[in-house]
């Protein structure tokens, strides 16, 4: 199996990280991989905000995320699970990359998805763990969207698209099984 296919087959979502920070070179390599992603019409409209895991912005987003989930919880059991969950949305990863994209460009969300996949695969190839994050979408598009956009230095006319947490793994996880019969049709 070639190295690209091997990296793809080994990647899985990691939800436990060591406290070891990423080096500047590692962060630059991840960003470069993301920026090398193809984009529709080569617009290259995806922007990456790099946030240190200790930055209070992340705690503020996490607090708002939990409040939003509690409001939407359908029952007391779900609320109890949310309240008792000790994890934050980025599982204490030392680095979080939050991607924003042009809100008026039809293909921005797809472009951001391709960009984040490049970052996740680059992380895997560098023996780092990653977790692609969408759970903060309601917060990042909610009543505080302009506030968070300013804190995260989103360019004008950009909105949240997707995020990815990256760090040194504190645990291993096998990739999910694939089911060709369920997921593929040959026509």
Domain presence at residue 175? no
What is the reported pTM?
Answer: 0.94
For residue 145, give the CATH number of its domain. Answer: 3.40.109.10
Tens digits of residue pLDDT in 117-174:
999 999 999 999 999 999 999 999 999 999 999 999 999 999 999 999 999 999 989 8
Domain presence at residue 115? yes
Category of 126 on φ-ψ map: left (φ > 0), alpha (ψ -120 to 50) or beta: alpha
Domain presence at residue 183? no
Helix H or strand E segment including 163 = strand 158-167
Task: Give the pLDDT confidence score for residue 1 in this predicted structure.
Answer: 81
Tens digits of residue pLDDT in 123-135:
999 999 999 999 9
Sheet bearing 95-102, strands edge to edge = 47-52, 95-102, 158-167, 129-133
Domain presence at residue 12? no
């Amino acid at each position: 199996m070639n190295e690209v296919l091997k990296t793809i087959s080994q990647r899985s979502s990691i939800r436990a990280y060591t406290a070891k920070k990423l080096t500047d070179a590692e962060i630059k390599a991840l960003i470069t991989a993301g920026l090398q992603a193809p984009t529709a019409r080569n617009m290259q409209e995806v922007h990456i905000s790099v946030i240190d895991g200790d930055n209070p912005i992340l705690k503020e987003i996490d607090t708002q995320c939990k409040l939003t989930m509690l409001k939407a919880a359908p029952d007391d059991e779900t609320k109890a699970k949310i309240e008792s969950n000790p994890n934050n949305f980025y599982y204490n990863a030392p680095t979080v990359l939050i991607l924003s994209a042009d809100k008026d460009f039809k293909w921005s969300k797809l472009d951001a998805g391709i960009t984040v996949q490049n970052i996740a695969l680059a992380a895997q190839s560098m023996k780092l763990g990653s977790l692609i994050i969408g759970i903060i979408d309601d917060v990042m598009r909610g009543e505080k969207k302009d506030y968070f956009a300013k804190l995260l230095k989103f360019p004008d006319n950009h909105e949240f698209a997707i995020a990815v947490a990256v760090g040194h793994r504190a645990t291993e996880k096998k990739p999910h099984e694939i089911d060709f019969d369920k997921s593929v049709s040959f026509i």
